[in-house]
Chain A
Amino acid sequence: MSGKTLYDKLWDAHVVKSREDGTALIYIDRHLIHEVTSPQAFEGLRLAGRKPWRVDSVVATPDHNVPSDASERAGGIDGIVDEVSRIQVKTLDENCEEFGIVEFGINDPGQGIVHVVGPETGATLPGMTVVCGDSHTSTHGALGALAHGIGTSEVEHVLATQCLIQKKMKNMLVRVDGVLGEGVTAKDVVLAIIGKIGTAGGNGCAIEFAGEVIEKMSMEGRMTVCNMAIEAGARAGMVAVDDITIDYVKGKPFAPKGAEWEKAEAAWRDLHSDADAKFDVVVELKGEEIQPQVSWGTSPEMVLPVDGAVPNPAEEQDPTKKSGIERALQYMGLRAGQKITEIPVDRVFVGSCTNARIEDLRAAAEVAKGRTKADSVKQVLIVPGSQSVKAQAESEGLHKVFVEAGFEWREPSCSMCLAMNSDKLGAGEHCASTSNRNFEGRQGFGGRTHLVSPAMAVAAAVTGHFTDVRKLGKA
């Protein structure tokens, strides 16, 4: 019998009951909630007269609708200009109060994007099953956890039963061997993976990211990679536990302490795939071959190295793909064969659950230092992922670098990632964005999103068009 994969181990440790129909009841250790996908679940509980099964497994924070603008934010919930956004944030407060759930409220020092808050507080830990009504929950898999996004009916199901009905997924291994070149980041790695396997490439699978590049990557880099597993079609992404994981978790506010820590660490050290484990699908990439990436189209798989050129639909044989390229070129206002570096940028967004952690802000600041926003760029938003990240960045003086460069230093929020708050693209505007989705209208009606790393976003901000950050030279 072959050994177990990391996913097999996490799955086996949480099966409450296997059912005859091929599904299983999986026990959920941690449930994160935010204001957009939870109100209907609480309403469902109320209508059925049910109570949360284990209320101390749940942590809440508002993120999607909260304003990133300091003046709008200063008024707390009542200060939110958009009425429906205000109602959603208020409803989360009320539901947490009613059911006794720990919440980091809108201006609480613990507030932030739910996928930044979970790991940084230690609310999400290795070996846990983690769910949230948000597809980017895959982020927490970076800790060696089984984490995936769920719909609102499932949020209600987990609240009421502490379990999820799941069918076991297939095991997929994505190995990134070798070393990354200078200026190439975790974001470029995951975009290159999606470019290779496509947005449906991981459908039905749990992806384990491994190989030398992942082993050397920081926890925050691993979070960026796992965050976008869903963009490759996989509901869960994960990385084995190693010293980097253990060092990261140690000392976090909710992490175990003392003797409990020793026990936990011993259990976590086994959270890796066995040497003889079998995977259903294996994909391999070479770190040396990965260049800084820029997405050109309306799906994350439409991505190219920065020195590339926009594809020509005439060269595509598959009719569905061909019409897809034509449609994307039209929406994006690009012409076939146009060089990526010739695409002008109107706005820049550094933030989101993909790239709003302290290392992301440091990388952005390093490029920004001594440079200024290009005149043609209307706005550069730098939005920290949490209050804690914001405080850390300010203690390092990063905010000053951004402000001196003509950028805007904002309050923690999902901000321009998804156009639910005041931060939006105008129709036809091109945005260099460190977020995760370049879908039509994602950042605002008619907005044109290009997914990049924080360093590449700032390189575009200071030059006015996409630029290979490695060729910027000295500031």
Chain B
Amino acid sequence: MKAFTRHSGVAAPLRRRNIDTDAIIPSREMKRVSRHGLGEGLFAGWRYTLPGGREPNPEFVLNRPEYSAASILLGGDNFGCGSSREHAVWALAEFGIRAIIASGYGAIFYTNCVRNGVLPVCLPDADVEALAQLVESDPQANPVAIDLERGEVRCGTFCKPFEMDSASRHMLLHGLDPISLTLQSDAEIVRFEGARRARFGWAFSPLKSNASEGSQDVEKMKSTES
């Protein structure tokens, strides 16, 4: 995973509450079996004039020349709410977005960001608004700098500290692979699983085995497969 330590770039304001992951990437744009090629579909409903089309809507912030090469989004509260689709973060990352600054996030989206090296910064909405106003006067001349090590967002005279839970921070700073980390605890998982299976066998109900009464029902359900 891509690490995040410091980043400075053009910030684009998308100051709406509840920007959902359907807006970030509509379902018609996520019909892929790979993580790649999704950047084109980012904000497709707002970014292009027609569904499935690629004619840019000149009004949309990321299409405006003053925001070209934007790598930071200034969002509204509850950014990334809704569907769990990680395609939303893959699309953001492929488009070149390295960080989002908003007052709150959908929980699944937040985790998806951290898993993909995109930094979700939490600042009070008034601060995000102040930052947006600073940036809007001349976005290219007022890049926003984010320092995850120091926990700081800067833009000219604007300087605000931000906090992040230590697990996410650690993972982002070091670009860690969470699966490898978890597998370091494999002996503990095996021990826990064994104890749980012994006490709560029902939670390990056999979905396949022919030994149980339950599976016969399943076989019956499956035997009439058309």
Does A212 make an interface contact (CB < 8 A)? no
Q: Are B205 and A256 in contact (CB under 8 A)?
A: yes
Q: List B180-226 residues whose CB lies under 8 Å from chain A.
A: 182-183, 185-186, 188-189, 192-193, 196, 200-208, 212-214, 217-218, 221-222, 224-226
Q: A30 vs B32: C-alpha distance in the bound complex, in angstroms?
A: 25
Does B104 make an interface contact (CB < 8 A)? yes
> Which residues of A sit under 8 angstroms from B83, Cβ to Cβ?
134-135, 418, 437
Using known A-B contacts A125-B202, A327-B16, determine if residue A105 contacts B26 with beta carbons closer than 8 Å. Answer: no
Does A257 make an interface contact (CB < 8 A)? yes
Q: A22 vs B167: C-alpha distance in the bound complex, in angstroms?
A: 7
Does B57 make an interface contact (CB < 8 A)? no
Q: A419 vs B29: C-alpha distance in the bound complex, in angstroms?
A: 11
* Chain B, Cβ-Cβ closest to A54: B193
Instruction: Give the shortest distance, in Å, between B110 (CB) and chain A (any CB).
Output: 10
Q: Are A445 and B179 in contact (CB under 8 A)?
A: no
Q: A233 vs B106: C-alpha distance in the bound complex, in angstroms?
A: 7
Q: Are B214 and A253 in contact (CB under 8 A)?
A: yes
Q: A320 vs B13: C-alpha distance in the bound complex, in angstroms?
A: 13
Does A19 make an interface contact (CB < 8 A)? yes
* Chain A, Cβ-Cβ closest to B48: A445
> Which residues of B sit under 8 angstroms from A203, Cβ to Cβ?
78, 104-107
Q: Are A27 and B192 in contact (CB under 8 A)?
A: yes
Q: Are B81 and A37 in contact (CB under 8 A)?
A: no
Chain A proximity mask over B39-83: 1 for CB below 8 Å, otherwise 0: 000000100001100000000000000000000000011100111
Q: Are B33 and A91 in contact (CB under 8 A)?
A: yes
Cβ-defined partner of B31 (8 Å) among A48, A85, A260: A85
Q: How many chain B residues touch the partner (CB < 8 A)?
A: 74
* Chain B, Cβ-Cβ closest to A35: B33
Instruction: Give the shortest distance, in Å, between A166 (CB) and chain B (any CB).
Output: 9
Stretch from B111-119, B141-149, B155-163 forming part of the interface with A: B111-119
Q: Are B166 and A253 in contact (CB under 8 A)?
A: no
Q: List B22-37 residues whose CB lies under 8 Å from chain A.
A: 22-23, 26-28, 30-35
Does B6 make an interface contact (CB < 8 A)? no
> Which residues of B sit under 8 angstroms from A258, Cβ to Cβ?
213
Q: List A260-278 residues whose CB lies under 8 Å from chain B.
A: 260-261, 263-264, 267
Q: A23 vs B178: C-alpha distance in the bound complex, in angstroms?
A: 12
Using known A-B contacts A102-B208, A160-B179, A440-B23, determine if residue A165 contacts B167 with beta carbons closer than 8 Å. Answer: yes
Q: A292 vs B223: C-alpha distance in the bound complex, in angstroms?
A: 43
Q: Are B108 and A235 in contact (CB under 8 A)?
A: yes
> Which residues of B sit under 8 angstroms from A21, Cβ to Cβ?
165-167, 170
Number of A-B contacts (CB under 8 A): 247
> Which residues of A sit under 8 angstroms from B214, Cβ to Cβ?
122, 253-257
Q: Are B185 and A17 in contact (CB under 8 A)?
A: yes
Q: A127 vs B196: C-alpha distance in the bound complex, in angstroms?
A: 12
Q: Are B23 and A320 in contact (CB under 8 A)?
A: no
> Which residues of A sit under 8 angstroms from B7, Cβ to Cβ?
none
Q: Are B31 and A156 in contact (CB under 8 A)?
A: no
> Which residues of A sit under 8 angstroms from B111, Cβ to Cβ?
150-151, 153-154
Does B140 make an interface contact (CB < 8 A)? no
Instruction: Give the shortest distance, in Å, between B79 (CB) and chain A (any CB).
Output: 10
Instruction: Give the shortest distance, in Å, between B148 (CB) and chain A (any CB).
Output: 15
Instruction: Give the shortest distance, in Å, between B77 (CB) and chain A (any CB).
Output: 6
* Chain A, Cβ-Cβ closest to B45: A441
Cβ-defined partner of A110 (8 Å) among B89, B213, B218: B218
Q: A293 vs B6: C-alpha distance in the bound complex, in angstroms?
A: 47
Q: Which 6 A-B pairs have the closest CB atoms?
A: A445-B51, A84-B31, A39-B33, A253-B217, A153-B115, A151-B112
Interface, chain A (partner B; CB < 8 A): 16-17, 19, 21-23, 25, 27, 29-30, 36-37, 39-40, 43, 48, 50, 53-54, 56-57, 59, 64-65, 82, 84-85, 87-88, 91, 102, 104-105, 107-110, 121-123, 125, 127-128, 133-135, 149-154, 156-157, 160-163, 165, 167, 199-200, 203-204, 230-231, 233, 235, 253-258, 260-261, 263-264, 267, 299, 301, 320-321, 323-324, 327, 418-420, 427, 437, 439-442, 445-446
Can you name 9 extra interface pairs (CB under 8 A) apart from A133-B86, A150-B111, A419-B26? A40-B86, A43-B34, A43-B35, A105-B225, A125-B203, A135-B83, A151-B86, A320-B125, A418-B83
Interface, chain B (partner A; CB < 8 A): 15-18, 20, 22-23, 26-28, 30-35, 45, 50-51, 76-78, 81-86, 89, 104-109, 111-112, 115-116, 125, 165-167, 170, 178-179, 182-183, 185-186, 188-189, 192-193, 196, 200-208, 212-214, 217-218, 221-222, 224-226
